[in-house]
Amino acid sequence: MGKISIYIMILLPVMLIGCDNTDSVTDNNRKGKKGSKKESLVKVNRYMVNTETKEIENYIARHELDVTETGSGLKYQIIRHGTGEKATRGKTVTLNYKLKLITGDIIYSSEKDGPKVFKVGHGGVETGLEEAILNMRVGDEAIIIIPSHLGHGLLGDRKKIPQRSTIIYEIEFTNIN
Q: What pLDDT was estimated at residue 42?
A: 86
Q: How confident is the model at residue 156 (pLDDT cuts 50, 70, 90)?
A: confident
Q: How far apart are CA 53 and CA 97, in angstroms?
A: 24
Coil, helix or strand for 76? strand
Partners of residue 67 on adjacent β-strands:
none
Lowest-confidence pick of 14-18, 92-96, 118-122, 148-152: 14-18
pTM over 0.85: no
Q: Is 5 left (phi over 0), alpha (psi -120 to 50) or beta?
A: alpha
Length of the chain: 177
Fold of 68-176: Chitinase A; domain 3 (3.10.50)
Q: Are strands 116-119 and 106-109 parallel, antiparallel or unpaired?
A: unpaired
In the chain, domain spans: 3-62, 68-176
Q: How far apart are CA 13 and CA 4, in angstroms?
A: 15
